[in-house]
Amino acid sequence: MPEDNMAEAVLEIYDPPTGDQEGPGAKRTDDIRMQFRPAELALTKEVSLARHNARSAPRTSVPEFTGSRPRILAMTVVLDNKDQQNQTVDQRVTKLLGCCAPTEESLSAGRPSPPWVKFRWGGFESVSFPAFLSGVKAKYTRFSTGGEPLRAVCELTLEEIGTATKGQNPTSGSPASRHSCVLVRGDSLQSVAVRSTGHAADWRQIAELNGIDDPSKVTPGRHLLLPGTTDR
């Protein structure tokens, strides 16, 4: 058990949002409290960059920033015997697994979503963010004579949940919620789609949005309207 003068690591669990709410719903009372603090935390943050290569260019092009990827937090925690809430190892592992499945309330509302989670450990802010529990791997290492698991080593992966970009309304299908771009030499609808949505197949949406019948005839300098959130 952690020393009394040391901050306790906790995985908080929240209901998913309802309606147009952007943040999490109500905080649940059944947090997963870690009897042994993680020995290591691995935090990853990356960006997406696109390069537009020109044939016969002597040097590589300057990359274009196309987006920020979510933070990924990975940790290994030990669950041992019964905790302060008198929950068994099996009950806590089951609760972790439940965080990877949509809640009954979200299914009933037609908006399937697993619970949101947040890792908290004292004032450690860079690793404390709204997230989905995207991976759970439990290894049972100790058992009672009756076959009850008394210890589990759990590998957890948390993926950050982003929020809507300022100035955009994710529930609106109006042109105001869309972006635009100007074609440069070497661009195609496919390359524009990759930069805009990350999927080359979305070039058809761009063509339809801009009234383009023949995608091979788009020319540099043309202004294109790009799909908004609700167009995808």
8 Å CB contact between 227 and 199: no
Average pLDDT over residues 73-90: 86
pLDDT at residue number 165: 46
Is the alpha carbon torsion for 128, 129, 133, 137 positive or negative? negative
pLDDT digits (tens, 9 = 90+) for 157-171: 999 997 654 444 444
Answer with the residue of higher pLDDT: 6 or 199: 199
Last residue of a domain, one of 108, 134, 160: 160
Residue 52 included in any domain: yes
Contact indicator for 196, 179 with CB cutoff of 8 Å: yes
Residue 217 to residue 162: CA distance in whole angstroms: 37
pLDDT in tens, 18-27: 776 778 889 9
| Position with higher pLDDT, 180 vs 176 | 180
Could you give phi then psi for residue 78, rounded to 5 degrees?
-110, 125
Tokens of 84: 């302060």
> How many CB atoms neighbour CB 72 within 10 A?
17
Which of 128, 160, 192 represents a domain boundary (last residue)?
160
DSSP 98: H
Q: Is the same domain home to 91 and 182? A: no
Is there a contact between 92 and 47 (Cβ–Cβ < 8 Å)? no
Give the model's pLDDT for residue 228. 65
Local confidence band at 83 (pLDDT 50, 70, 90 cut-offs): low
Task: Give the model's pLDDT for residue 155.
Answer: 97
Q: What is the pTM of this model?
A: 0.67
- With beta carbons less than 8 A apart as the criterion, state whether 182 and 222 touch: yes
Query: Residue 190: pLDDT above 60?
Result: yes
Q: What is the CATH number of the domain that holds 154?
A: 2.40.30
Residue 87 shares a structural domain with residue 188: no
Residue 169 lies in a domain: no
**Both ends of the chain: CA-CA distance in Å?**
49
| Helix H or strand E segment including 195 | helix 189-197
**Residue 54 banded pLDDT, cuts 50, 70, 90:** low
What is the structure's pLDDT at 169?
46
164's CB contacts (< 8 A; 6+ apart) are 22, 170, 229
Same domain, 67 and 109: yes
Indicate if 69 and 108 belong to the same structural domain: yes
Domain that residue 130 falls in:
9-160
The one-letter amino acid code at 207 reads A
Domain boundary residue among 133, 160, 187? 160
Contact (CB, 8 A) for 157 and 73: yes
Higher pLDDT, 107 or 63: 107
Q: How large a percentage of the chain has pLDDT more than 70?
A: 84
Range ranked top by mean pLDDT from 59-63, 100-104, 108-112, 226-230: 100-104
Average pLDDT, the chain: 83
Do 141 and 219 sit in the same domain of this protein? no
Instruction: Determine the pLDDT at residue 175.
Output: 45
pLDDT of 194: 83
Which residues are CB-neighbours of 92 under 8 A, at least 6 positions away? 32, 79, 83, 152
* H or E element that contains 9: strand 9-14
List pLDDT tens digits, range 88-114.
999 999 999 999 999 999 898 888 899
CB 202 within 8 A of CB 173: no
Instruction: Give the residue with greater pLDDT, 177 vs 97.
Output: 97
Judgement on whether residues 217 and 105 belong to the same structural domain of the protein: no
- Measured distance CA(165)–CA(65) in Å, rounded: 15
